[in-house]
A and B are shown apart, each in its own frame.
Chain A
Amino acid sequence: MPDLPHTAAALRAVVADRTVSAEEVCRQTLERIAALDGRLHAFLHVDADRALDRARALDRLKVPAGPLHGVPIALKDNVITRDMPTTAGSHLLDGHRPLYNATVVDRLERAGAVIVGKTVCDEFAMGSSTEHCAFGPARNPWALDRVPGGSSGGSAVAVAAGLVPIALGSDTGGSIRQPAAFCGIVGLKPTYGRVSRYGLIAFASSLDQIGPLAHSVDDAALVLSVIGGHDPLDATSAAGQPFEAAGGRRDDLRGVRIGVPRALLETGVAADVTAAFDAALGVLTDLGATIVTIDLPHSRFAVPVYYLVATAEASSNLARYDGVRYGVRAAADSLGAMYDRTRSAGFGAEVKRRIMLGTYALSAGYYDAYYRKAQQVRTLIARDFDTAFDAVDLVALPTTPTTAFRFGAHLDDPLSMYVADVFTVSAPLAGLPAVSVPAGLSSEHLPIGLQLVGRAWDEAGLLRAAGAYERRTPWAGRRPRVLDA
């Protein structure tokens, strides 16, 4: 059996024309996971029997099920699945089996995707490294002593290492784009409201959005076309025109204006990242785009704003974990003590820290100074983008200020991990779509990401530009060397 195609689109084609069966694809996928995941720890749960059953059922169909017919996919473990455990990386949900599927799960399966398992994430999606996963972190396939990024780190590793062609993550402040950058793949955070969050375990509801991690921009578009669209079960999901993957490729960017917020890039960016970003701007220029310096003056407050808004919402969302209806309960002889002990034993340190910060920001006497003030500055951040988009079509930024860091580098100093979110938090605060695409390797042979941010609902324009860049550069085809050993 020859090597299977890397991308979902190519894999779907060979399954749909019966060059290879969905079962064979699934079997090879499971074998690769079995061979490599001991070292990578991308997965928290793999259900081989269920996946093979699904694949065989697809093979029995007379016509392909849909645009992901026979394509294996992994899901971040905060996307709930009726037939598989869902923990969101937390001891509090150890052994939890949901009663229903997230809307995205049903949509993927209707499109013919074969869900192989659930991936490692920071607990309740709170983190940038997967080190806050209660069941151990995933490892970066480019360097096993480094983090894959987070919180959708397991999904990024699963794709980057070729265990699955595509995976879902969720992005609240960068949790799809940052691990995509660290692992050398494509990660897309759609416009707020594009994808239903019904069945996504909530972290910060005004920010959370589900999106794909993939080897190519085309694959990310394909997945978005399957999972996007209005869902009556999520009142924040948008009605209106759904996203269609076949929006048309373009290999020149003539007439496209790309804004670069230079003032944000002046400090704290590693030299390799700056060099790769400047080179990327050169490629975009060669493709015909015009690079324009823009100002996003309030985005320098984006990280503190994010950590107030997101933690405030988290403190409210995570109040549901009380040991009454699901998950793990700690024994106690009164109801109040049971709540406290269950939460204290079930939550890890980072989740407690964020709940505490959010509770403080919402508490009497501090609400106006912290939560309300942060929401006002958030409005200013969004307005800056509105103004910028009068003059440009896209905004370009590095995805991260550095390449993947070593395990433990930030564990004793949570603030130092937070500030590294500097380039990813603005887009979700403004609700905008953003994509990270591979943009080179550092001197240490670690991936670097280019981030493009688009106008609300303009994933088509965003992905056209990202795709043109991807096809002009060699980076999307690079694979981690460590796996050849």
Chain B
Amino acid sequence: MAANLTLDDVRRVAALAHLTLTESEVETFAAQLGDILDWVNQIQATDTAGVDASHASMPTRADAWRDDVAVPSLRTADVIEGAPDAVPAAGLFRVPSVF
């Protein structure tokens, strides 16, 4: 797999990750991420036919099932107090308009 990253590839990934990069960041990341991808490509040589990709091999003793019982949570007033912007009287976070 060719891992050469174009500047447009970097811009596309940045958009997916909700990052706005400067042109110099785009160039730096294209080179650095290209090197990193070239290097991680060594794993392609491993024979993984039929190998489970899950965490089946992870140690676990957790029985993740529990009863679905409502318990007290954080108070809305406390939560929005730490927000960058909120309307406390309405108990809501406030954000810029979507459009």
Contact = CB atoms under 8 A, between A and B. Distances in A.
Contacts of B57: 378-379, 382-383, 386, 430-431
Contacts of B46: 298, 301, 373, 376-377, 380
A369 B98 contact: no
Interface string B43-79: 1101010011111111111111010000000100011
A367 to B, nearest CB: 11
Contacts of B29: 352-353, 356
Nearest to B57: A382
B19 A304 contact: no
Contacts of B48: 373, 376-377, 380
Nearest to A322: B18
Contacts of A377: 43, 46, 48, 51
Contacts of A192: 58-60
A379 B53 CA distance: 7
Given A326-B82, A335-B95, A340 B19 contact: yes
A379 B82 contact: no
In this complex, the interface size class of chain A, counting residues with CB under 8 Å from chain B, is 35 or more
Interface in A251-265: none
Interface string B1-34: 1000000011001101111110001000100110
A377 B40 CA distance: 12
Contact of A335 (B35, B59, B97): B97
Contacts of A307: 36, 40
A380 B40 contact: no
A322 B96 CA distance: 12
B20 A341 contact: yes
Contact of B59 (A96, A97, A379, A431): A431
A380 to B, nearest CB: 6
A334 B19 contact: no
Contacts of A370: 40
A206 interface: yes
B51 A380 contact: yes
A430 B10 CA distance: 32
B83 interface: yes
Interface in A213-258: 230, 232, 235-240
A418 B43 contact: no
Interface string A451-465: 000001100000000
B35 A235 contact: no
Interface of B: 1, 9-10, 13-14, 16-21, 25, 29, 32-33, 35-37, 39-44, 46, 48, 51-64, 66, 74, 78-79, 82-85, 93, 95-99
What are the 3 A-B residue pairs with the smallest beta carbon separation, nearest first? Answer: A456-B59, A329-B84, A382-B57
28 contacts: A99-B79, A192-B58, A193-B62, A206-B55, A232-B66, A236-B62, A238-B61, A240-B61, A304-B39, A307-B36, A319-B18, A334-B98, A337-B96, A344-B21, A352-B21, A360-B33, A363-B16, A369-B1, A373-B43, A373-B44, A376-B52, A379-B53, A380-B51, A415-B35, A431-B57, A431-B59, A431-B60, A457-B61
